[in-house]
Amino acid sequence: MIDTHCHVDLFPDPVGVARLLEREVEACVAVTMLPSHFEMAQRHLTAFRRTTPALGLHPLRSREGHREIQRFKNLARSAEFIGEIGIDGSPQGRPTLEAQKDNFAEVVASIQRGAFVTVHSRGAWRETLEGLKVARVGPVCFHYFIGGAEAAKTVLADGHYLSINHRMVASESRHRAMVAALPRDRVLPETDGPFLGAAPIRQLESVYRFLGQAWNLDSLETRELIRQNFARCRTTNTTLPSQST
């Protein structure tokens, strides 16, 4: 299994979680909030093959992040994984929205070809998408995308991917139908742990199970398809046309 968005460093025992992931998953993108956090994660996770730190500058840490933009740019020259970056237009993020947009424009322009990028777009998917278009960066993965079916079509039309977590596919979730209708070659799994729970393996298993049922695939076929999606979701430094209909 693959987890494309997990805050490993925010668990009470990050190294313990990394050990669990090392045993149970093929790959985990360990997103961070700030470049300084990324550097710390690199030091602590250097012994792990499957849990890889991602260079982040979270939109809700925009004031601190602004002071670390040059550090982000320097680190982005060699970072294979980028996240969490993006724009937050929710009530929580609205007071710093303009600062977030400025930060995002700077950091996204520094992303290198071939990186896997996971972006935050809560309440601001249009602004996030526009920032990617201006910088001509794609494809990226829009994490925990709950903008709705029509918005998803717009994001997908620019060649991007969407990552899905267990909460989105729970029986009571209003997002289940949207997830089931997504083109299977643009979907990736995530846990967003520990924010959505402290059991990443069980959370991933529920996502894989739902996707397999929605796609009418067995577990091996589901895992192989997601593996291929993960391999393809790498920036080319140019916005891509739609890859599927």
Question: In the chain, which residue ranges form alpha helices assigned H by DSSP?
Answer: 14-24, 35-45, 62-67, 69-76, 97-108, 125-135, 149-157, 176-181, 200-215, 219-232
- Helix or strand or coil: residue 191? coil
**CA gap 229, 227 in Å, rounded:** 5
Reply yes or no on domain 2-232 having CATH 3.20.20.140: yes
**CA gap 104, 82 in Å, rounded:** 12
The model's pLDDT over 70-106, given as tens digits with 9 standing for 90+, comes to: 999 999 999 999 999 999 999 999 999 999 999 999 9
Considering only CA atoms, which of 225, 163, 175 is closest in space to residue 6?
Answer: 163
What's the whole-model pTM score?
0.94
pLDDT-derived band at 238 (thresholds 50, 70, 90) equals low
The model's pLDDT over 99-129, given as tens digits with 9 standing for 90+, comes to: 999 999 999 999 999 999 999 999 999 999 9
Give the model's pLDDT for residue 244.
Answer: 43
State the DSSP string of 19-56.
Answer: HHHHHH-SEEEE--SSHHHHHHHHHHHTT-SSEEE-B-
The model's pLDDT over 183-206, given as tens digits with 9 standing for 90+, comes to: 999 999 999 999 999 999 999 999
Judged against a pLDDT cut of 50, whether residue 30 lies above it is answered with yes
What angle separates helix 125-135 from helix 149-157, to the nearest 10 degrees?
A: 0
Judged against a pLDDT cut of 90, whether residue 41 lies above it is answered with yes
Considering only CA atoms, which of 112, 113, 149, 107 is closest in space to residue 128?
Answer: 107
State mean pLDDT over 158-178. 96
Give the model's pLDDT for residue 237.
Answer: 64
**Residue ranges covered by each domain of the chain:** 2-232
Judged against a pLDDT cut of 80, whether residue 245 lies above it is answered with no
Judged against a pLDDT cut of 50, whether residue 48 lies above it is answered with yes
**Residue 168 contacts residue 144 (beta carbons within 8 Å):** yes
